[in-house]
Amino acid sequence: RVRNIELAETLGVAEPTIRKDLDDLESQGRLTRTHGGAIFTRAQLEPELLIRINQNAEAKNSIALEAIKIVKSGYSIFIDSGSTSLRIADLLFDRCQSGLLENINVLTNSLAVAQKLAASLKIKHTVIGGTYRPVNGSFMGPLAVKTLESFSLNLAFIGVTGVTKKGFTVSDIGEAQLKNAAIKASQTVVVPIDSSKVGISDFAFLCEVEEISVIVSEKRNQILSQI
């Protein structure tokens, strides 16, 4: 949510210019005009996976390094789609190849995660089929949810696009349904989340904060204090 006067001061332009630009953005469906300002129709636009990999890369790397410590030999793991999840898959691959982890089973709906793990003969992995979603390279839909419900997992890494005091959110309702199925199938649920997503409420509600076992972040204490 933003006011015209704030935009004018920040950008150093006249308010009539701001009003015209906001009118143009409203016609594109990017925001809704309000009295004296505007509000975004969505908390954020979902960027392509390849773009997201390079966003907050340092934070995501530190998050993945902490998250991988939770994995133990013999675990069955769900890794969903997302840039941080892909980094976790990278580290899992390295640890299995070096012998630090053994007898790992991975279930995923991410094409990128599956392609990464396929190069290792030391990791058993299963890809959930369904409706392909190109924006994040994942499978979802009723078939994917039904398939996931037949598994029992030690651990699930669940990516989100926002968190507030109300809980975690994601950008797509089908994505929320699949992640919820993974949460129900797993003994321990881990949300790796960078601090840029705190305070953002995206399109589809996923779950309350209390339903998650572990939150891993580069600023975990800061996040917990705000939610």
pLDDT tens figures, 158-200 = 999 889 888 999 988 999 999 999 999 999 999 999 888 888 8
**Range 64-75 average pLDDT:** 95
Question: What integer pLDDT is reported at residue 30 of this predicted model?
Answer: 74
- Name the residue type at position 216: V
Question: What integer pLDDT is reported at residue 151 of this predicted model?
Answer: 94
Tokens 């699930």 correspond to 156
pLDDT at 46 over 70: no
Question: What integer pLDDT is reported at residue 191 of this predicted model?
Answer: 95
Residue among 212, 133, 204 at smallest CA distance from 170: 204
Alpha-carbon separation of residue 78 from 4, 11, 37, 153 (angstroms): 45, 45, 43, 7
User: Which DSSP string do the residues of the chain spell out, in sequence order?
Assistant: -EEHHHHHHHHT--HHHHHHHHHHHHHTTSEEEETTEEEESSS-----HHHHHTTTHHHHHHHHHHHGGG--TT-EEEE-SSHHHHHHHHHHHHHHHTTSS-SEEEEESBHHHHHHHTT-TTEEEEEPPSEEETTTTEEESHHHHHHHTT--EEEEE---SEEETTEEEES-HHHHHHHHHHHHHEEEEEEE--GGGBT---SEEEE-GGG-SEEE-TTHHHHHHH-
Which of residues 113 and 39 earns the better pLDDT score?
Answer: 113
pLDDT at 50 over 50: yes
Tokens of 192: 């790796």
Question: What integer pLDDT is reported at residue 45 of this predicted model?
Answer: 43
Which of residues 211 and 43 earns the better pLDDT score?
Answer: 211
Residue among 208, 220, 178, 198 at smallest CA distance from 44: 198
Alpha-carbon separation of residue 151 from 148, 156, 212 (angstroms): 6, 12, 19
- CA dist., res. 43 & res. 31, Å (int): 10
- Please report which confidence band the pLDDT of residue 38 belongs to, taking 50, 70 and 90 as the band edges: confident
- CA dist., res. 108 & res. 149, Å (int): 13
Question: What integer pLDDT is reported at residue 168 of this predicted model?
Answer: 94
95-154 confidence digits (pLDDT tens): 999 999 999 999 999 998 999 898 888 999 999 999 988 878 889 999 999 999 999 999
